[in-house]
Amino acid sequence: MLKLKPFKYAENESLLKDVKERVESYLKESFNDEDITHYEGLFVVNFAGESINISVSPWHEDDVLVKVSSHIKELDDEDTDAFLEVLKLNSQVPLGAFGLTFDNTLVFSHSLPGKNLDKSELLASIQTVAAVCQTYKEKFS
């Protein structure tokens, strides 16, 4: 018998609301008001010269996901070297992953379980995403 039960996708509205409020509170405690923008379900924080996106979304019946991400650069369709480099980098970064959006924009993101999210975890994720984006904007420019 399994001790760890498999996830069942479900939306936990009360947990989703609680985590969004907690994320907003952590951001307000840690950043100036002018550095935080809030759109429907998305927070954008200007930090260290980067626009960091933070979203809270359903994951499974007992938790939600907090995703911290930022855009690095739009890649050219023909730039196969850059695409291969990104795949190699994914095996080297300790937290998070590189990805491509529908329009070939290179992004870096890091996701955290939200139920027990604390302020230090969120801030570390924001700092990591900003640092990685700054490093690789220079590399891919």
Tell which wins on pLDDT, 1 or 135.
135
Give me the residue label for tokens 């695409």: 83
pLDDT 10s digits, 3-44: 777 777 778 899 999 999 999 999 999 999 999 999 887 999
Give strand ranges (E) for 75-125. 97-100, 105-113
Contacts 24+ apart (CB under 8 A), 81-84: 82/106, 82/140
Q: What's the pLDDT score for residue 26?
A: 98
From first CA to last CA, the distance across the chain in angstroms is 52
Asked if 71 and 51 touch (Cβ cutoff 8 Å), the reply is yes
Give me the residue label for tokens 């809270």: 56
pLDDT 10s digits, 92-120: 988 899 999 999 899 999 999 999 999 99
Give strand ranges (E) for 23-84. 36-39, 42-47, 50-60, 63-74
